[in-house]
């Protein structure tokens, strides 16, 4: 029996979520009371249906987990440990209660991050705000955008481009369904399927973030808004120039023919970090993607050895060596 939220009402839904997910409002008080936190790091992310996700993309459990990982990625980028999170759900009353429960199932899958409280309101559009509280080692070792130094190499922790044309590709497949995420109706190449599964199942680089911190790294950011945008943040916040050298090996197979657009597409949730020359991270799945130079915050991009300029209209190969 799949009832709609409108049949349960707001209070009925809250009661049902509390029964199924005891950590939600579990203490019964106005606030969650957490154990002491030495160095709290906190992030807030909102996701709305239609803007940040679509229900037809994938089963609710996959979507819930995906949004949590996106929020956790901010904690990973600080080199911190994620510990608790809070939900503020805005729920369209026409949605089936089973969908909401599947969504919370996804949100609560991880055992290392605890759903410590929540809020539920009725809204025309399905949406959720996630507030995550993590813990850093101490203020001095937090990874920051402003800690890039001239001479540092720039690295990324995984392949880029999973979001490029993902909505259109998902439409071609009629969305992915089941636990193994198979195309619901249409056809996808195996490269496209690999990309979409990665797009729907990002994993916040929490362990790697902590490893980097322990290795002495102090500058990182997660790639949620695209490589160019995030590298540009590092440049500006650190007041150094960055030089990016991108080539097709850095991307998912299905977007290799479009590396510039893939670098701008965002939602990769891998880390971009700066490391002193001599430190090597290839063995833990990272790729060198550029370096920092003395300067005042400019970014230069080379694609397969050719300089590229980015402007509001798109990209131009400057073709220095043409």
Residue 271 tokens, joined: 């880390």
Contact flag: residue 231 with a second copy (CB under 8 A): no
Give DSSP secondary structure letters for 189-202. -HHHHHHHHHHHS-
Q: Please, what is the minimum distance in Å from the beta carbon of residue 208 to a second copy?
A: 15
| Radius of gyration for the chain, computed over Cα atoms and rounded to the nearest angstrom | 21
Q: Give, as ranges, the residues between 82 and 101 that touch a second copy (CB under 8 A).
A: 84, 86-88, 90
Of the candidate spans 67-75, 154-162, 168-176, 256-264, the one that interacts with a second copy by CB under 8 A turns out to be 67-75
| Residue 178 main-chain phi, psi, to 5 deg | 80, 170
Mark 17-46 with x for binding to a second copy (rule: CB under 8 A) and - for no binding: ----------xxxxxxxxxxxxxxxxxxxx
In angstroms, the Cα distances linking 145 to 148, 210, 241, 298, 304 are 7, 16, 13, 15, 27
Q: Show the CA angle centred on residue 158, arms to residues 153 and 164, nearest 5°.
A: 115
Residues that contact a second copy, how many (by CB under 8 A):
58
Q: Please, what is the minimum distance in Å from the beta carbon of residue 165 to a second copy?
A: 22
Q: Which of 5, 70, 75, 264 binds a second copy (CB under 8 A)?
A: 75
Mark 107-146 with x for binding to a second copy (rule: CB under 8 A) and - for no binding: ---------xxxx-xxxxx-x-x-x-xx-x--x--x-xxx
Contact flag: residue 233 with a second copy (CB under 8 A): yes
Task: Indicate the Cα dihedral angle 214, 220, 221, 223, nearest 10°.
Answer: -90
Please classify residue 136 by burial: count the beta carbons closer than 10 Å to its beta carbon, then call 0-12 exposed, 13-18 middle and 19+ buried. buried
Q: Please, what is the minimum distance in Å from the beta carbon of residue 26 to a second copy?
A: 12
Q: Which residues bind a second copy (CB under 8 A)?
A: 27-46, 48, 51-52, 73-75, 77-78, 80, 84, 86-88, 90, 116-119, 121-125, 127, 129, 131, 133-134, 136, 139, 142, 144-146, 221-222, 233, 237
């Amino acid at each position: 029996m799949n009832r709609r939220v409108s049949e349960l009402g707001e209070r009925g839904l809250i009661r049902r979520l509390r029964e199924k997910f005891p950590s939600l409002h579990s203490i019964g008080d106005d606030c969650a009371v957490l154990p002491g936190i030495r160095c709290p790091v906190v992030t807030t992310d909102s996701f709305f249906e239609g803007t940040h996700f679509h229900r037809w993309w994938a089963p609710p459990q996959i979507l819930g987990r995906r949004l949590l990982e996106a929020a956790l990625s901010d904690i990973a980028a600080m080199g911190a440990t994620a510990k608790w999170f809070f939900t503020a759900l805005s729920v369209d009353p026409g949605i089936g209660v089973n969908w909401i429960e599947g969504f919370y199932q996804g949100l609560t899958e991880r055992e290392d991050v605890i759903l410590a409280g929540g809020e539920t309101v009725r809204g025309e559009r399905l949406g959720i705000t996630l507030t995550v509280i993590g813990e850093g080692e101490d203020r001095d070792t937090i990874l920051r955008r402003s800690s890039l130094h001239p001479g540092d190499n720039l690295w990324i922790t995984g392949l880029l481009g999973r979001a490029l044309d993902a909505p259109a590709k998902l439409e071609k497949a009629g969305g992915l369904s089941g636990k193994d995420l198979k195309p619901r109706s249409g056809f996808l190449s195996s490269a496209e399927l690999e990309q979409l599964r990665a797009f729907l199942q990002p994993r916040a680089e929490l362990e790697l973030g902590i490893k980097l911190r322990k290795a002495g790294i102090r500058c990182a950011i997660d790639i949620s808004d695209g490589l160019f945008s995030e590298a540009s943040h590092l440049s500006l916040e650190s007041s150094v120039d960055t030089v990016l050298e991108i080539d097709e090996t850095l991307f998912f197979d299905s977007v290799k023919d479009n590396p510039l657009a893939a670098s701008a597409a965002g939602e990769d949730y891998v880390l971009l970090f700066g490391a002193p020359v001599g430190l090597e991270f290839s063995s833990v799945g990272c790729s060198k993607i550029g370096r920092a130079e003395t300067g005042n915050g400019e970014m230069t991009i080379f694609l397969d050895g050719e300089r590229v300029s980015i402007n509001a209209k798109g990209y131009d190969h400057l073709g220095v060596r043409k």
